[in-house]
Amino acid sequence: MQWAFKRQVFDLIIFFGVLGIFGFFIIYPFIKREPSCTDGRQNGFETGVDCGGLCARACMEDTDPVSILWSRAFEVVPGRYNAVAYIENHNQNTAVNKISYRFRFADENNIYIGKRDGTTFIPPSGNFALFEGAIDLGNSIPVYTTFQFTEVPVWAQVTDEKANQLKILVSKIELEGEDTSPRLRATVKNNSLFTITDVDVVAILYDELGSAVSVSQTYLESLSGEEVRDINFTWPQPFGAKVTTKEIIPMFNVFSAELK
């Protein structure tokens, strides 16, 4: 009887030993797996949980919020307006691939009269402009325009190669017909070897006091590496003030640019 009991104990030890070995080989890869940017842990060269270091996603604590410098609506024809938000991204080599936003409009009594929602990207470092056109507010006149991003940005790191090379240069800026039917001409050049797609080019005109007079936008489906293109902006009626300064801002998503 004692021998049978010892044999049972021995068999149980063998059974649990074999079970432990198999369990070890099953669990080990999960315990000792290589650090990754999707494992829910701060490891490897990461500076946060699955962010920073070699990860594409930048850590929120390492980024600064953007600054909304100003936002305004400009009458194009009676009842129709273009709106622009002028924004600064303080973060170097850090951008947002997609984010939602909202313009809100109020009359002289600060009574809400309409809104316009959209989605966009945030380019790395520097000033940029977000444009919404053909906004119909009926008989209401937008005296106050506010702008806000309606979700928390997911920041991503931009490679040095893209950050240093991706530039669209603007030259030969000329405004004519200012007192009748204004037309703004310019030349843009893709100063990189990347192909840049879906380029929105925003034009902002200022008076002698530095106040924005009017805005417009044109669109380029793509710009090949080192390609040069002429662009035009038009307005159906004269401005209410003399234009002294012209700013043209090319807008494109750095993450969609590719070497071809």
Model confidence at 16, pLDDT cuts 50, 70, 90, reads low
pLDDT at 22: 55
Share the mean pLDDT of the chain.
Answer: 89
> What is d(CA 101, CA 150) in angstroms, rounded to the nearest whole number?
5
Look-up: residue for tokens 């600060």?
A: 110
Q: Which residue has the tokens 């001409």?
A: 185
Asked if the model's pLDDT at residue 230 lies above 90, the reply is yes
Which stretch of 43-52, 128-137, 166-175, 184-193 has the lowest confidence by average pLDDT?
Answer: 43-52
The fold of the 64-158 domain, in CATH, is: Immunoglobulin-like (2.60.40)
Asked whether 107 and 47 are in contact (CB, 8 A), the reply is: no
The pLDDT assigned to 71 comes to 98
Assign 247 a pLDDT band (cuts: 50, 70, 90): very high
Q: How far is CA 255 from CA 34, 94, 96, 159, 195, in A?
A: 27, 11, 9, 10, 11
- In words, the CATH class of domain 159-260 is mainly beta
- Average of per-residue pLDDT across 7-19: 57
Percentage with pLDDT > 90 across the chain? 71
Burial of 225 (0-12, 13-18, 19+ CB in 10 A): middle
Query: What's the pLDDT tens digit per position in 56-78?
Result: 888 988 899 999 999 999 999 89
Task: Report the predicted TM-score, pTM, of the whole model to 2 decimal places.
Answer: 0.83
* Of the candidates 157, 162, 164, 160, the residue with the CA atom closest to the CA atom of residue 53: 157
